[in-house]
Amino acid sequence: MSIPSSVMHKRKKFAADLKKLVDILYKYFPTADISSFESAITELKNKDFVPRIPNKGSSANSWGYSLGRLIFKFHSVPRHTLPENCKDLKLILDLKVFGDCERLDTMDDPFEWLEFNIVIEGTKFVEKDTIQLLTSYHLDRHIIKEGDGESEFPHPIYHFQFGGRKLKQNSGSIDTGELLIFDSPRIMHYPMEAILGIDFTLSNFFPDIWKKIKLESNEYINLLEEYQIKFLKPYVQTHASYWEYNRESIDRNKFWDPNVICPQLS
């Protein structure tokens, strides 16, 4: 399958930006295991590699990558963490994103497939026993198939959920104590690839290091600004289009501080 030069140009740009992100992460998280970036970068630059979009197949216009088991260790237990006697906490991030290059830099949905999983593991000691601890969150893109009926619950196309498959896979070994776990609400959220996704993760779980990176690294800020325009802007402007907002009405009215609505904005 022949890949157009315009597509390879965009794929190589993604690869170069991932390499910039990796260099920044290693500087501030020297003990992190982020080795799966290497294969993702290599595949993006390989003109003979065609990404295969799950449930759809391959296309010469496709771009995408998978990042498996990116591991960030907590050097201290975050405040308000329960149970209080937990230790050895680590955050494991898995990410799969695929899309069509023709839809990049437009107001259309930029992705065709997105899976973003955050899993936090740890341990606690009860008398002589060591108990494994686990929590998880996931963001994904709802795939609408021909013939699907109406969803039982509201199902935003991009949504965050607590729990999900990871907890279900371990449900037989998890002692929930007094915790009640539902098939939790699907909370709408903007889509995120690696750069926006890792920024979201750092801002929520490693806020001190996140603030330090944003203060010291202009390259990180430049990446955020570029990718917010590429992936967050279409999402936000699509919402605004429901009420037919235009530039004139925005200039004429006083709005909230955007950083109050979305602290991740650079």
Give me 141's structure tokens. 């893109």
pTM for the structure as a whole: 0.89
Residue 174's pLDDT band (boundaries 50, 70, 90)? low
| Residues 71-95, mean pLDDT to the nearest whole number | 92
Amino acid in the structure at residue 68: G
Residue 26's pLDDT band (boundaries 50, 70, 90)? very high
Residue 28's pLDDT band (boundaries 50, 70, 90)? very high
pLDDT at 138: 92
Q: Which residues pair with 117 in a beta bridge?
A: 94, 138
pLDDT at 168: 63
Alpha helices in the chain, H assignment, sequence order: 5-28, 36-45, 165-169, 194-205, 207-216, 218-227, 233-241, 247-252, 258-261
How do residues 203-236 score in pLDDT, each as one tens digit?
999 999 999 999 999 999 999 999 999 999 999 9
Element spanning 126, H or E: strand 113-126
* Residues 119, 113 contacting (CB under 8 angstroms): no
| Residues 78-89, mean pLDDT to the nearest whole number | 88
How do residues 94-148 score in pLDDT, each as one tens digit?
999 999 999 999 999 999 999 999 999 999 888 778 888 889 999 999 876 655 6
Q: How far is CA 241 from CA 105, 154, 237, 249, in A?
A: 17, 21, 6, 12
C-alpha to C-alpha distance for 32 and 101, rounded to whole angstroms: 31
Higher pLDDT, 135 or 71: 71
